[in-house]
A and B are shown apart, each in its own frame.
Chain A
Amino acid sequence: MKRLFGLVVLTVALLAHPAHAYIGPGAGFAFAGSFLALIAAFLLAIGTILLWPLTFVWRTIRVGNPFKNAAARRIIVLGLDGMDPGLATKFMQEGKLPNFRKLAEQGVFRTLDTSNPSMSPVAWSTFATGVDASGHGIFDFLTRDPCTYAPLLSSTDIGQATRVVNIGKYIIPLGSPKITLLQRGQAFWKVLGEKHIFSIIQRVPITFPPVKFRGLLLSGMCVPDLRGSQGTFAFFSTQTDAGVPAFTGGEQTVLRRQGNRIRSRIVGPDNGMVRGNPRMILPLTLTIADDKQSVKMEIDGVAEPITLRFETYSPWVTLTFPAAPTVKVSGIARFYLTSIDPEVSLYMTPIHIDPENPAMPISHPSVYAVYLAKKFGSFATLGLAEDTWALNERVIDEKAFYQAAMDICEEREQMFFDAVSRVKTGLVTTVFDTTDRIQHMFYRYLDPTHPANEGKPTGGEYANAIERAYIHMDGVLGKLMTQVGDDENTVVMVISDHGFTNFRRGVNLNSWLRENGYLTLLPGSDTSGDWFEKVDWSKTQAFSLGLTGLFINRKGREQSGIVTEGDEYKRLTHEIARKLEALVDPQTGGRAIRRVEIAPEYFDGPARFDAPDLLVGYEGGYRNSWDCATGSVTRAIFSDNTKSWSGDHCVDPAIVPGVFFCNRAIVTPQPRLIDIPYSILALFGHKPPDYMQGKMIFVGKAGSATTRGLLDPASLPQSGAAPGALVSSTPAWSVDHVTG
């Protein structure tokens, strides 16, 4: 102690001497940095404190008290993508979701009518804007380029920098590439911001790139990976017996082993700063431990080697790709050893945009993602963060998928509860994708006769993965309700964008169109590859792309359109719709399609001209086949769905409503997703804009609610737990109904 005291005294004495006040870069940085941090904190705090009265006065002059007419001062929307009312009811009846039950008993639980089409980008866009698909212009994940028939991401357009300077082999951009959100209309949280009501919006789909507003936003579904795709995993393996399989959604690299050492490389994004846009790469070295229990992984630019253990995820690893001198692009990925001995196989997730150093804007303001990453550590940023294709391609198994999904869920929980603790007045909306992804990939376990079960495990630890995911989310809700307590000014809603049903059989609409003479292949072609490779557009009247849409090859809209507007168009759309509604699956003898909507008659919004001309509403158990979704033409119209992606919701929206739980009762027996943004604005006491198509489902400041309590299971249009069962003509494979 005496010695330490002496040293401290000596330190102080030396610091007092001008020539010897500095003792190296560590201390130099520490004291200089510390001083700067203090100055920054003081300036920010003082600036904020000084400006606060001014902003308060400005706000009062502009909007007065934003909560003057409010029936709620804080609204928390917990979005559980794909949560199914049938399954929720089943698990509640079994006593597995006590917090959902409590919330429903306190307020209400009803089904929530979804959008048409009933898929996340469409439904969450409706939630954000308060208008249907013809209002916000998002009809699917994909649309087609009318000039080329090539697929386009329907939500985002990522352009190139318009001005560049060429220096040798380098191309230096003089600005950022233009990234445009193609969703039309404005999000209701922007309207709230104009009224000076603060919002935190986390991972709501179709919010990339983020739009400025008064609040914080972390983008969700459709955020690309670092390579610009919607998720490209990598699989490294020494196994070469089966050659190099072509994966959907990923790439394989064959590893060559030299003793216990393997050298390979991680392929990154295209380098737009070098002529020819070569791929950026990072050398990777794997060293197998002598006991064959682990592998040491060394990656260029990563300071410490990473020890990988069998079937255990690495933490997020920051990958820094050198693009040009002094320019680096940063991404994050996780690694998972699927085998060590005798073959080494390593799965790498898609390279997510690094939230701490984002290569593209993934939050508003841009430092919000940085803040979250610094506070909680790196987190998944890719729109479709759970790697469904890796499981579909059986590169990983159910255990690996489930683990990754729950890890991502945990990351989301941290940021959600941080937002809840921050917002005392205003809006918090967080979307959890866990329920959706787990149901997509584990639905086959609910159906013992599902075609996807062949060659895959049907029991074991993950047989009840869906139930576990629901129970986990019940725990999240419980924690939220504890935090909220009995605060009467806080409205808690749990909503889902759609429910779920079985996906046993795929329908290739393009093959059907061809068989019925509406689509013609080039001479000598019997089938067509992806993206209409061999389609003769000069003789094609209709084609299908995406998950529910069917386009008419319209003259004046499509590049080689042949169907004229007016009578021909009308006759053709009605004819196709009628025939499709009569389409019978020869395997079951049942109808495959429940309803076909003709867009110009169904929609009246400003974006209806961009819509697919026909929206195909399948029966439960059916969906566009994987081939059809990518614009290929096969010989067969029907095919078994053998992929792990065995549950879906791209069917008739009437059979896959979402859920609506709330701690307040409502005035309508049948709430709709489109009513939610309208009602949130109204709950805060502000008149929703006239273009919004919803209605107020709460009582406001006065009046009494008529709809309360638990959902009557008899009112369920179909059960998610009963694969394919939704109507009285129950298909043969139905195994379990939820009943009262």
Chain B
Amino acid sequence: MNALISLLNMVFDVILAPFGHRFASFDLIVWPVLAGVIALLVYKKVSNQKGIAAAKNGIQVHLLEIVLYRDNLAGVLVATANAMKQNALYLGNNIGPMLVMMPPMTAVLVEIVANYAYSPLPVDATPLLEVKMAEGASVKSMDVTLDLPAGLSVDAGPVATPDGMVAWRLKAETAGDYVVTVHAGTEAQQKGLAFGGEPRKIPVLRTNTWESILYPGEDALPSDSAFETIRTHYSDRDLPYFPDGEGGILLWFFGFSLAAGFALKGPLGVEL
């Protein structure tokens, strides 16, 4: 997993944000559009274009039947059922291409989310650092300790709960990227924290589950780690025109890739 995350970071850290993270709109337009075009070409190659066209056509035929033969109640019900059947066929035809496109598109999306969805923590903030112990971990939550770098101090805590959670409230003296170390027995894991400064890629979560692919800001935890997650909560970054945070990024991505797809499906001869 780490190799994959490293590879993705290596690529995207170079190509994302060529004008810096301040110009979020640039990446939030260029990448969805580019992703849309590439996805369109891939979709054309891997999908059953004839099947999709036939299913769409079938849906339209049965919808028109409902309109044209509306006096025939039984006919309307049959046409409705047939339209739904064609709808299912249409969706079925899209599952294959969806699975093919999912990994690359997810990679692009999560990198954009990591880079643009969150703001660094305000310097005067006292965020929680939350650690969740893995199920069956040999170390108890109350035995977990924390090492802080210079400039970062504990404001409160730790607070351990019986369900395996430990939390510290931290405080930074100045803006900067800090790395804390969490110890459980002989295991030590690091976690980054971003305080103040320019917008940048934010380390939100480290985990030993599949979800780590969605948080490329940091490496995944080892699968045999005593920790399941180490997390800090960040505020959503203000995005122009769309809602903030992950939802906003999704809307940017959805809107622009869809617009690009719609504009280019004709010239590229793709049946969607």
A369 CB → nearest B CB, Å = 10
Q: In the A-B complex, list the 3 residue pairs whose CB atoms are closest, starting with the nearest.
A: A25-B261, A24-B39, A19-B246
Asked if B64 and A25 make an inter-chain contact with CB atoms under 8 angstroms apart, the answer reads: no
Asked if B97 and A40 make an inter-chain contact with CB atoms under 8 angstroms apart, the answer reads: no
Asked if B61 and A23 make an inter-chain contact with CB atoms under 8 angstroms apart, the answer reads: no
Residues of chain B having any CB pair with chain A under 8 Å: 35-36, 39-40, 43, 47, 56-57, 59-73, 75-77, 79-80, 83-84, 87, 90-91, 93-95, 97-99, 101-102, 105-106, 109-110, 113, 117, 210, 214, 246-247, 249-250, 253-254, 257-258, 260-262, 265, 269-270, 272
Bound: A28/B257 CA distance, A: 9
Counting contact residues on chain A (CB < 8 A from B), the size range is 35 or more
Contacts of A49 in B (CB 8 A): 73, 76-77
Asked if B63 and A44 make an inter-chain contact with CB atoms under 8 angstroms apart, the answer reads: yes
Bound: A41/B60 CA distance, A: 10
Besides A29-B261, A41-B83, 8 more A-B contacts (Cβ < 8 Å) are A14-B106, A21-B250, A23-B98, A23-B101, A24-B261, A44-B67, A52-B71, A424-B72
Contacts of A38 in B (CB 8 A): 84, 87
Quick one: which of A27, A32, A304, A422 contacts B69, CB cutoff 8 A? Answer: A422
Task: List 29 interface pairs A-B (beta carbons < 8 Å), by A numbering.
Answer: A7-B99, A11-B95, A11-B98, A19-B246, A22-B253, A23-B101, A24-B36, A24-B40, A24-B261, A25-B39, A25-B261, A25-B272, A26-B94, A26-B97, A28-B254, A28-B257, A28-B258, A30-B93, A30-B272, A33-B56, A37-B63, A45-B66, A55-B71, A367-B64, A367-B67, A368-B68, A371-B68, A374-B64, A424-B72
Contacts of B254 in A (CB 8 A): 22, 28
Cβ of A365 under 8 Å from chain B: yes
Asked if A365 and B47 make an inter-chain contact with CB atoms under 8 angstroms apart, the answer reads: no
Asked if A216 and B99 make an inter-chain contact with CB atoms under 8 angstroms apart, the answer reads: no
Asked if B68 and A216 make an inter-chain contact with CB atoms under 8 angstroms apart, the answer reads: yes
Quick one: which of B59, B69, B75, B246 contacts A18, CB cutoff 8 A? Answer: B246
Quick one: which of B67, B257, B265 contacts A24, CB cutoff 8 A? Answer: B257
B129 CB → nearest A CB, Å = 22
Asked if B113 and A45 make an inter-chain contact with CB atoms under 8 angstroms apart, the answer reads: no
Cβ of A17 under 8 Å from chain B: yes
- Contact status of A23 and B77, CB under 8 A, knowing A41-B83, A44-B67: no
- Contact status of A41 and B36, CB under 8 A, knowing A23-B105, A23-B106: no
Cβ of A20 under 8 Å from chain B: yes
B66 CB → nearest A CB, Å = 4
Cβ of A351 under 8 Å from chain B: no
Asked if B36 and A52 make an inter-chain contact with CB atoms under 8 angstroms apart, the answer reads: no
Question: Interface centre among A13, A25, A31, A40, by most B CB within 10 Å?
Answer: A25
Asked if B249 and A19 make an inter-chain contact with CB atoms under 8 angstroms apart, the answer reads: yes
- Closest chain B residue, CB of each to CB of A23: B105
Bound: A14/B77 CA distance, A: 35
Bound: A365/B64 CA distance, A: 11
Quick one: which of A33, A34, A52 contacts B73, CB cutoff 8 A? Answer: A52
Asked if A34 and B91 make an inter-chain contact with CB atoms under 8 angstroms apart, the answer reads: yes
Bound: A52/B71 CA distance, A: 7
Asked if A34 and B61 make an inter-chain contact with CB atoms under 8 angstroms apart, the answer reads: no
Contacts of B61 in A (CB 8 A): 371, 374-375
A145 CB → nearest B CB, Å = 39
Contacts of B66 in A (CB 8 A): 41, 44-45, 48
Asked if A26 and B69 make an inter-chain contact with CB atoms under 8 angstroms apart, the answer reads: no
Cβ of A198 under 8 Å from chain B: yes
Asked if A45 and B43 make an inter-chain contact with CB atoms under 8 angstroms apart, the answer reads: no
Contacts of A374 in B (CB 8 A): 57, 60-61, 64
Contacts of B214 in A (CB 8 A): 17, 19-20
Bound: A40/B56 CA distance, A: 13
